[in-house]
């Protein structure tokens, strides 16, 4: 095959769609093709005999230009990306390749550098990288969990929200999707992602987070199809709606309590009207017929029941009464200690041992100490009354993110199965009591922006949780003042309520 002629080589050199520059061993430019002027704006005449890198890379210092020149001279360069500044001040990204020509004595004669303008490709890559970064930040910054599943429903990727909820995602990558929603005990057929995928809509399911709390999640599974519409991956969007559901329940409970309060006020008034003369006439009869034991026994029963109804009416009126919360920054540990001191005689009388595990890192908590103190007394007294033959009472304080928590644990008979979700409802009682003590306590805590809950203890007994926010809520709330219920009208015997 014949070698190309000098004219053919010159034609290729001048018409080449790439930059071609010849660099002498001293760094000066020997030749440059027309494409150099087209891209940079500098004519070959402006570059010949000069160090073109110092002209085309004005942002680089002399030492950087020298190092760049040596790289070209020492070895053949492959896809070396260099940013050139044009005569008009624009920047172009040039990918350089080079080869060196030596004389018969193996001395460098010229370094031929060929460069492709890859500015558009670099800009596209930068935009793609930026979009990828923005997408990653969006996915990690969302309040929702986002997971990507293979078509076989194995976990490919999950964002940091899942890590916050369930721990190290690396442990579940490659496992099936139900591992995203851990349970303490497996539930046969419980597959939230599959249910969402099957019904093609939102599915709500519960899972236990790494701190041991059961949370409610709203799950949406969306298929990601190929060009033919066939699902190749699935995107799972998960939102923790526990607090939203709790807020909805609170609003519903508030409306219900408002209605019950109005009814209770009317009923208390209507009951008190005839009750007062009944009690008064009974006491009058007792004085008028002092020597008839049969009549005396009957009259005493009337007076006793009238007094009981009066106490009940007082409790109902307290339940319906509301006023503003007086927030004071309070040492929660000292408040707990004060409540325990008030109940010390009852605790000792029931032969109950006690542990108080109070956190030393709790900040002061904004609250109405009088009201929260009554809530704590009510819960503690419930636990004491649940252990008439002795037992063990444990009170623990701790910090849970944005909340301060008080935990009351006893070793009594516990809460009957199915009652955990009802004991805070108004007038729920199985032993003939009014059944609004826990309801009032719940309202007080909720009006502080907190939460109160209960669960069965491990083995036996019950555990009550009171969580109070470390910052005051920003909107005004009302709360009941259960003076008689929590101070005077708590019976010494009975069930939780």
Query: For position 287, which CATH number holds?
Result: 1.10.287
Contacts of residue 126, defined as CB under 8 A and 6 or more positions apart, other chains included, come to none
How many separate domains does the chain show? 4
Q: With contact defined as beta carbons under 8 Å apart, do 150 and 140 qualify?
A: no
| All residues at 6 or more sequence positions from 296 whose CB lies less than 8 Å from its CB, including other chains | 286, 289, 290
C-alpha 41/C-alpha 47 separation (Å) is 11
CA–CA gap between residue 77 and residue 429 (Å, rounded): 86
Annotate 247-316 with three-state secondary structure. HHHHHHHHHHHHHHHHHHHHHHHHHHHHHHHHHHHHHHHHHHCCCCHHHHHHHHHHHHHHHHHHHHHHHH
Q: Cβ atoms within 10 A of the Cβ of 373, count?
A: 18
Distances (CA, A) of 283 to 115, 293, 295, 300: 113, 15, 12, 8
Indicate whether 264 and 232 sit together in one domain.
Answer: no
pLDDT confidence tier of residue 435, bands split at 50, 70 and 90: low
User: What is the mean predicted confidence (pLDDT) over 255-273?
Assistant: 72
Q: Which of 104, 119, 134 is the last residue of a domain?
A: 119
H, E, C per residue of 26-52: CCCEEEECHHHHHHHCCCHHHHECCCH
Confidence of residue 496 (pLDDT cuts 50, 70, 90): low
| pLDDT given at position 150 | 85
Instruction: Say if 133 falls within a structural domain.
Output: no
| CATH code for the domain of 328 | 3.30.565.10
In a domain, 421, yes or no: yes
Q: Tell me, yes or no, whether 223 and 339 share the same domain.
A: no
Mean pLDDT score across all residues of the chain? 79
DSSP lists the bridge partners of residue 99 as 112
What value does the mean pLDDT take over residues 200-227?
80
Among 104-108, 325-329, 455-459, whose mean pLDDT is lowest? 455-459
Do 206 and 249 belong together in one domain?
Answer: no
204 lies in some domain = yes
Residue 132 has pLDDT above 60, yes or no: yes
Residues 472 and 328 in one domain: yes
* Range in 7-21, 193-207, 404-418, 419-433 the model is least confident about: 419-433
pLDDT over 60 (residue 36): yes
Predicted TM-score of the model (pTM)? 0.43
- Close Cβ partners of 333 (under 8 Å, ≥ 6 residues apart): 358, 359, 362, 397
DSSP SS3 for 222? strand
Q: What is the pLDDT of residues 78-116, one digit of tens each?
A: 888 888 999 999 999 989 888 888 888 888 888 888 889
Q: What are phi and psi of 78, to 5 degrees?
A: -125, 120
Confidence of residue 319 (pLDDT cuts 50, 70, 90): low
297 and 430 co-located in one domain: no
* 294 and 338 housed in the same domain: no
Q: What share of the chain is helix, strand, coil (3-state, %, to 5)?
A: 40, 25, 30
Q: Is 458 within a domain?
A: yes
Tell me which residue range forms the domain holding 249: 245-320
* Coil, strand or helix at 132: helix
- Residue 315's pLDDT band (boundaries 50, 70, 90)? low
| CATH number of the domain within which 195 lies | 3.30.450.20
Average pLDDT, integer, range 74-81: 78
C-alpha distance from residue 208 to each of 6, 128, 186, 216, 478 (Å): 79, 37, 12, 9, 33
Per-residue pLDDT band at 491 (split at 50, 70, 90): very low
Between 185 and 153, the more confident residue is: 153
Which pLDDT value is given to residue 42?
Answer: 92
């Amino acid at each position: 095959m014949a070698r190309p002629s000098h004219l053919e080589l010159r034609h290729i050199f001048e018409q080449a769609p790439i930059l071609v520059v010849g660099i002498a061993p001293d760094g000066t430019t020997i030749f440059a093709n027309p494409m150099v002027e087209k891209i940079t704006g500098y004519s070959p005449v402006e570059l010949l005999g000069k160090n073109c890198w110092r002209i085309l890379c004005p942002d680089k210092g002399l030492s950087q230009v020298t190092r760049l020149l040596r790289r070209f001279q020492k070895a053949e360069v492959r896809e070396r990306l260099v940013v050139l500044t044009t005569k008009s001040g624009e920047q172009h990204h040039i990918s350089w390749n080079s080869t060196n020509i030596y004389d018969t004595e193996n001395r460098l004669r010229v370094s031929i550098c060929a460069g492709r303008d890859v500015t558009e490709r670099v800009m596209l890559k930068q935009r793609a990288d930026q979009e990828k970064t923005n997408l990653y930040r969006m996915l990690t910054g969302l309040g929702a969990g986002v997971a990507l599943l293979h078509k076989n429903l194995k976990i490919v990727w999950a964002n940091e929200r899942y890590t916050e909820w369930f721990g190290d995602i690396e442990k579940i990558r490659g496992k099936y999707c139900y591992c995203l929603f851990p349970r303490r005990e497996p539930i046969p057929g419980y597959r939230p992602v599959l249910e969402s995928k099957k019904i093609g809509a939102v599915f709500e399911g519960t899972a236990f987070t790494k701190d041991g709390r059961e949370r409610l999640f709203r799950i949406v599974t969306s298929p990601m199809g190929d060009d033919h519409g066939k699902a190749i991956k699935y995107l799972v969007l998960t939102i923790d709606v526990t607090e939203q559901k709790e807020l909805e329940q609170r609003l519903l409970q508030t409306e219900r309590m408002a209605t019950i309060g109005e009814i209770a006020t009317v009923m208390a008034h209507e009951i008190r009207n005839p009750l007062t003369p009944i009690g008064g006439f009974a006491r009058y009869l007792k004085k008028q017929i002092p020597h008839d034991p049969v009549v005396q026994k009957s009259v005493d029963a009337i007076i006793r029941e009238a007094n009981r109804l009066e106490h009940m009416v007082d409790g109902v009126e307290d339940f319906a009464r509301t006023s503003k919360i007086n927030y004071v920054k309070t040492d929660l540990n000292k408040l707990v200690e004060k409540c325990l001191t008030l109940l010390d005689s009852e605790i000792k009388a029931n032969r109950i041992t006690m542990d108080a595990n109070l956190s030393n890192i709790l900040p002061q908590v904004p609250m109405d100490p009088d009201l929260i103190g009554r809530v704590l007394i009510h819960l503690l007294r419930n636990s004491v009354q649940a252990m008439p033959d002795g037992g063990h009472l444990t009170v623990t304080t701790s910090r849970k993110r944005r909340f301060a928590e008080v935990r009351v644990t006893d070793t009594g008979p516990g809460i009957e199965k199915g009652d955990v979700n009802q004991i805070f409802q108004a007038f729920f009682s199985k032993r003939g009591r009014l059944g609004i003590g826990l309801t009032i306590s719940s309202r007080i805590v909720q009006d502080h922006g907190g939460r109160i809950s209960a669960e069965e203890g491990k083995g036996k007994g019950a555990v009550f949780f009171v969580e109070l926010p470390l910052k005051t809520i920003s909107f005004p709330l009302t709360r009941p003042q259960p003076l008689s219920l929590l101070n005077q009208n708590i019976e010494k015997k009975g069930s939780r309520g």
